[in-house]
Amino acid sequence: MAAAGSAIGLGSIWKFPYVVGQNGGGAFIILYIVCSLVFGLPLVMNEFLIGKLSGRSAYGAFRALTGTNRWQWLSWVFLVSVIVIMSFYFLVTGWCFYYMVEAASNTFAGMDAAALRAHFSAFEANALQMTIYAAIAIVLTASVLWFDVNKGIERLSKILMPILFLFLILMAAHMISLDGGTAGLHYLFMPDFSKITSKVILQAMGLSFFTLSVGMGILITYGGYMPKDQNVTSTSVQMIVLVIIVSLLSGMIIFPAVFAYGFSPSEGPELTFVTLPAVFQHMFSPTLTSVTFFGLMCVAALTSTISLMEVVIAFICEATSTTKHPLNRHQSTIVTALILVVANTLCILSMTGHADWLTVKGQNLFNSFNALSTNILIPVGALGTALFSGWFVPKARYQGSRVGSFLYLVVLRWLVPIAIVIIFLDSINII
Ligand code: TRP
């Protein structure tokens, strides 16, 4: 449940719907589910097992299992990947805060689709405001880790995440009953396979790994905390099913609203933020409903930012512990928070057009970081972990577990690496 709480976040509620919308709906969802079950499941199980066998985090696990330093580079890939994710994740967490505040002050009352779009664009053009909200998210997350109250937050999230789940179900039921809402379901669940290209497959795989938090070594840490007798297979299945359900629920909330209120499915990253306030206005107590929704979205985002940031802090502590200048937890927290403030501010400046030199191939940094993590860093991390376990961990370690030997000898050695490499090369037009 802790792993699911950390994995369920903006990936499922914000990123999933808009990426589905940009990639044509139903067929993409099938790919997403297939990737999650065929590649995601073995990779999740594998990370849990690496943690369970080594009792370490991603930083020490590879050395502990092989006795060499040859796999240390993979920890660095994970670190870069987590930092790149946080460089835009906090920014979007800031959007959630802003929308919660705006909802509480009843700003959206009477706005139609065009006005809501304009409202978001105005916010998105205001570098200072966005920086302040992102900074609030960073400082809040850093304070939780600084004061070491993450256990308390975890307990709180055990109550709030099920509430989020119930709320999403109620919302989905309401949306489907909207006039025109069934067009959204049609879009979501009637696959149009002509929309599938190799780039779309790579996106589906990347999105699946992103929402499952796999390929970044994060789940290794959770595996380290597992009791010896805990069943890795059923734990992984439960976690994956929960993430898929929350993602699908978000889709079932957003797409009926998109079609009922005249938005476009391919609106982009602002999809959740522009469509939902349109619907909330016609619901029971608009202010209460929208504050609750954006508030719960903030909670889901924060449980993710806390575990993302924790990884970097722990990494800095461990990596500097053998140097002349070891950093303690508090110092590492400050260093991490500063890196994040700089990275998020750069993203914001490049989005608002204040720093045109900060573009990569004509894309602003926000889009570039988003794509870099989902389409490159996470698949590379996943490939590395699969190869590590399939080929380099002494086989003797997995004897005694039938699932373990199958997983290692067939799936992680061959299936996952070959598939990732083919999907990857195909989408950059090498094949
Ligand atoms: N899975 C998270 C989400 O869907 C994002 C994420 C990726 C994450 N890697 C992570 C969260 C590591 C926590 C830890 O929003």
Is the CB of residue 5 below 6 angstroms from any atom belonging to ligand 1? no
Structure tokens belonging to residue 279:
């619907």
Residues 58, 78 contacting (CB under 8 angstroms): yes
**Cβ atoms of 222 and 44 closer than 8 Å:** no
Tokens 């800095």 sit on residue: 316
* CB burial string 104-135: b at 16+ within 10 A, e below: eeeebeebebeebbebbeebbeebebbbebbb
Residue 387's pLDDT is what? 93
193: left (phi over 0), alpha (psi -120 to 50) or beta: alpha
Output the pTM of the full model. Answer: 0.95
HEC letters along 96-147: HHHHHHHHHCCCCCCCCHHHHHHHHHHHHHCHHHHHHHHHHHHHHHHHHHHC
How many Å separate Cα 279 from the centre of its chain? 25
Per-residue pLDDT, 397: 67
Q: How far apart are CA 175 and CA 260, in angstroms?
A: 9
| Residue pLDDT, tens place only, 125-170 | 999 999 999 999 999 999 999 998 878 888 888 899 999 999 999 9
Q: Is 307 in the pocket of ligand 1 (CB under 6 A)?
A: yes
Q: How far apart (Å, rounded) are the C-alpha atoms in residues 425 and 431?
A: 6
Strand-pairing partners, residue 311, are none
Q: What percentage of the chain carries pLDDT values higher than 70?
A: 97
3-state secondary structure 377-421: HHHHHHHHHHHHHHHHCCHHHHCCCHHHHHHHHHHHHHHHHHHHH
Cα 108 to averaged position of ligand 1 atoms, centre (Å): 29
Residue 115: its pLDDT value, please?
95
User: What percent of the chain has pLDDT above 90?
Assistant: 71
CA-closest residue to ligand 1 atom 9: 213
pLDDT tens per residue across span 183-196: 999 999 999 999 89
Residue 311 CA, ligand 1 centroid: distance in Å: 11
* Predicted confidence (pLDDT) at residue 393 exceeds the cutoff of 90: no
Q: Considering only CA atoms, which of 49, 24, 40 is closest in space to residue 222?
A: 49
**Which pLDDT does position 93 carry in this prediction?**
98
Decide which of 169 and 404 is more confident.
169
Closest Cα to atom 14 of ligand 1: 308
Q: Is the pLDDT at 399 greater than 90, yes or no?
A: no
The alpha carbon of residue 366 and the mean position of all alpha carbons in its chain are separated, in whole angstroms, by 15
Q: Is the pLDDT of residue 396 over 90?
A: no
- DSSP state, 221? H
Q: Would you say the CB of residue 10 lies under 6 angstroms from ligand 1?
A: yes
Q: Is the CB of 250 under 6 A from ligand 1?
A: no
Distance 72 CA to ligand 1 centre (A): 22
The answer to whether 296 and 100 have CB atoms below 8 angstroms apart is no
In contact, 249 and 172? CB cutoff 8 Å: yes
What are the residues facing 363 on neighbouring strands? 360
Query: How much is the average pLDDT of 288-297?
Result: 95
Ligand 1 center to 396 CA (angstroms): 32
DSSP strand pairing (359-360 vs 363-364): antiparallel
In this prediction, residue 395 has a pLDDT band, given cuts at 50, 70 and 90, of: low
Average pLDDT rounded to a whole number, residues 24-28: 94
Rounded mean pLDDT, 226-238: 90
Using alpha carbons only, give the angle 111, 114, 120 rounded to the nearest 5 degrees. Answer: 80
pLDDT tens by residue, 170-227: 999 999 898 888 999 999 999 999 989 988 999 999 999 999 999 999 999 899 888 8
Q: Is 300 in the pocket of ligand 1 (CB under 6 A)?
A: no
Q: Quick check: CB of 308 below 6 Å from ligand 1? A: yes
Using the structure block, give the residue that is written with the tokens 């779309």: 200
Half-sphere exposure of 24 (CA within 13 A, CB side): 17
Mean pLDDT of 274-298: 93
DSSP secondary structure, 325-364, as one string: S---HHHHHHHHHHHHHHHHHHHHHHHTTS-TTSEETTEE
pLDDT band of residue 411 (cuts 50, 70, 90) is confident
The pLDDT tens digits of the residues spanning 322-368 come to: 899 999 999 999 999 999 999 999 999 999 988 888 888 889 999 99
The answer on pLDDT for 405 being more than 80 is no
Whole-number average pLDDT of the chain: 92
Ligand 1 pocket mutation, candidates 207, 304, 309, criterion most atoms within 8 A of CB: 304
Q: Which of 143, 131, 28, 194 is nearest to 343 (CA)?
A: 131
User: Tens digits of per-residue pLDDT, 88-125?
Assistant: 999 999 999 999 999 999 999 999 999 999 999 999 99
| pLDDT computed for residue 332 by the predictor | 96
Give the pLDDT mean for 270-297. 93
Q: What is the largest CA-CA distance in the chain?
A: 66
- Buried b vs exposed e over 172-184: b needs ≥16 C-beta within 10 Å? bebbeebeebeeb
Q: 207 vs 94, 216, 254, 374, CA distance in Å?
A: 21, 13, 17, 6
Q: What is the pLDDT of residue 403?
A: 66
Q: Give me the residue label for tokens 């991490």.
A: 336
- Ligand 1 site, residue 218, Cβ cutoff 6 A: yes
Cα separation, 338 vs 309, whole angstroms = 12
